[in-house]
Structure 1
Amino acid sequence: MTYEKMFDYLSNLEKNNNRDWFHETKQERTTVIEAFNQLVDALSQALHEKDPEIPLIPAKNLTFKLNRDTRFSHDKAPYNSVLRAHIGPKGKLPIPCGYFLFLKPNNQSFLGGGLFADMFSEATELIRQALLEREAEFLSIIENPTFKKYYRVMGKQLKRMPRGYEAYADSPVAEFLKYKSMYLELSLTDQEILTSDNFITETVEKFLLMKEFNQFLNTALVDFHFPERK
């Protein structure tokens, strides 16, 4: 299946975001999901060869469902018109950080890395401590010319220095201490994907430029524990 057909299905899903259409097009959806899983498996295999921290996990355990949880959302559309996968050291768990693939038509696709979740205060604190203890290492990663050509640090950021860190307002990493989450994104146009000679190889090359950034965060987060569900 071509990427064009994946995008066609996602575009149609966005226009017909209802349960009747979703179930009527089950065969097409199944074909699209199988093709996406094949893509994710190929990316996972290629990443594993270059980054041994990435285990070989079946794509079905790395991808996210199209169904949306609408219980607390004003948008009651039942489905996500996007194909997503997180290829990380522990599969699709957000921690440890890995490589995120987001395919959505109309030039909304991107490659991602780092920590997208800003709800884990323990993770934020661990990263802030690592920034202060290893500031030179962090700055060398994000100021690498090749890295800077494609990426910049993004995330939800406080307007002021976080409580307890006021004394570090003049630190070289002061602005990064304000981040609650810290991630990378590389936008992809539909044309880039549809005309790529080898999307898998090109994607892996871009992903690997995030490797040191992910490793920095993952070293900081080695003692992180997900909150227990109540």
Structure 2
Amino acid sequence: MDTQLILSYLKSLSENNNREWYHAHKAEYKEANAQFEALVQELILQIGKFDKSILPREAKELTFKLVRDTRFSHDKSPYHPAFRAHIGPGGKLPVPVGYYLMVKPGGQSFLGGGLFAASFKDATSMVRDHIAANGGEWENILHDPEFQKEFSVHGTALKNVPTSYDKEHPQAEFLKFKSWYLEYSVSDDIVADGERFLAEAVRLFRIMKPFNDFLNQALKDFQMPAR
């Protein structure tokens, strides 16, 4: 699996982030994108062995476009020089939560999971309620030795515990959060070795699964807002 091709294309795009270059190098894009989709398809098969909720899926349904929405951004570069995918029970929708990967040169690649979207107020309330009611289970997931070795929980957070929760709750710090997610940085050297990158992703996503399962249990009645 030639993931080196993905990195070299994205590096060139980041150095030439304009429409002229992009359209002049469409053949290279197609080749790199095909390699990324092959990687994602293999990941779907491997993750499906321990998490059947993500099956069946086609890689091209789960990847994100390179084109950026620059309307509300100071950065007006037209492309996001990264290949990204979310492998979840609902496809690439952020809820139910799943397994996220981003390949971006310069040591910016990462594997992730959990709830990234802090803007879904209903989702935030559901997860807070679930942590408040199932603190022991949450604690066990976070203190599993394998999990602790690889991950810590990230997320945007309030300064104080919301008033509807006990500020002395054992999980009070996590009740401040508005999103709960994991990120694991991956070096360019590992990404460039396709088989090694795939094995590492499968290993980490397997460790991540109980965390995702807990969040998805909390979010089982969540409805994505209408666009």
TM-score over 0.5 (shorter chain): yes
CA 1:212–1:93: 2 relative to 1, 3 Å: same
Deviation at 1:197, TM superposition (A): 4.9
Match of 1:112 in 2: 112
SS of structure 2 residue aligned to 1:67: coil
Match of 1:156 in 2: 156
1:129 and 2:115 matched? no
Aligned residue-pair number: 227
Deviation at 1:56, TM superposition (A): 1.8
**One-letter amino acid of the structure 1 residue matched with residue 183 of structure 2:** E
Q: Does the 8 A contact of 2:131 with 2:138 survive in 1? A: yes
Query: Identity percentage over the alignment?
Result: 47
**One-letter amino acid of the structure 2 residue matched with residue 171 of structure 1:** H
| Counterpart-to-counterpart distance in 1, 2:72 and 2:194 | 39
Match of 1:209 in 2: 207
| Counterpart-to-counterpart distance in 1, 2:35 and 2:160 | 45
SS of structure 2 residue aligned to 1:77: coil
Deviation at 1:196, TM superposition (A): 6.4
1:176 and 2:174 matched? yes
Q: Does the 8 A contact of 2:116 with 2:180 survive in 1? A: yes
Match of 1:84 in 2: 84
TM-score normalized with structure 2 length = 0.97
Match of 2:3 in 1: 3
Instruction: Please tell me the root mean square deviation across aligned C-alpha atoms, in Å.
Output: 1.2
Match of 1:12 in 2: 12
| Counterpart-to-counterpart distance in 2, 1:159 and 1:188 | 31
Which contiguous aligned blocks of 4+ residues in structure 1 show a shift greater than 6 angstroms? none
Q: Does the 8 A contact of 2:2 with 2:194 survive in 1? A: no
CA deviation vs aligned residue, 1:112-139 (integer Å, no higher than 9, x gap)? 0000010000000000000011100000
1:142 and 2:142 matched? yes
Instruction: Map 1:16-31 to 2 at 5 A.
Output: 16-31=16-31
| Counterpart-to-counterpart distance in 2, 1:49 and 1:149 | 23
| Counterpart-to-counterpart distance in 1, 2:83 and 2:120 | 25
**One-letter amino acid of the structure 2 residue matched with residue 128 of structure 1:** R
| Counterpart-to-counterpart distance in 1, 2:17 and 2:76 | 10
**One-letter amino acid of the structure 1 residue matched with residue 186 of structure 2:** L
Instruction: Map 1:42-121 to 2 at 5 A.
Output: 42-121=42-121
CA 1:78–1:196: 2 relative to 1, 3 Å: closer
| Counterpart-to-counterpart distance in 2, 1:163 and 1:225 | 25
More off after superposition, 189-198 vs 74-83: 189-198
Deviation at 1:228, TM superposition (A): 2.1
Deviation at 1:191, TM superposition (A): 1.7
Q: Does the 8 A contact of 2:64 with 2:84 survive in 1? A: yes
More off after superposition, 1-10 vs 116-125: 1-10
**One-letter amino acid of the structure 2 residue matched with residue 120 of structure 1:** F
Deviation at 1:8, TM superposition (A): 1.1
| Counterpart-to-counterpart distance in 2, 1:210 and 1:70 | 33
TM-score normalized with structure 1 length = 0.96
**One-letter amino acid of the structure 2 residue matched with residue 164 of structure 1:** S
| Counterpart-to-counterpart distance in 2, 1:2 and 1:110 | 18
SS of structure 2 residue aligned to 1:53: helix
Deviation at 1:74, TM superposition (A): 1.2
Deviation at 1:202, TM superposition (A): 2.3
| Counterpart-to-counterpart distance in 1, 2:216 and 2:193 | 34
Structure 2: state its 5+ residue gaps.
none
SS of structure 2 residue aligned to 1:50: coil
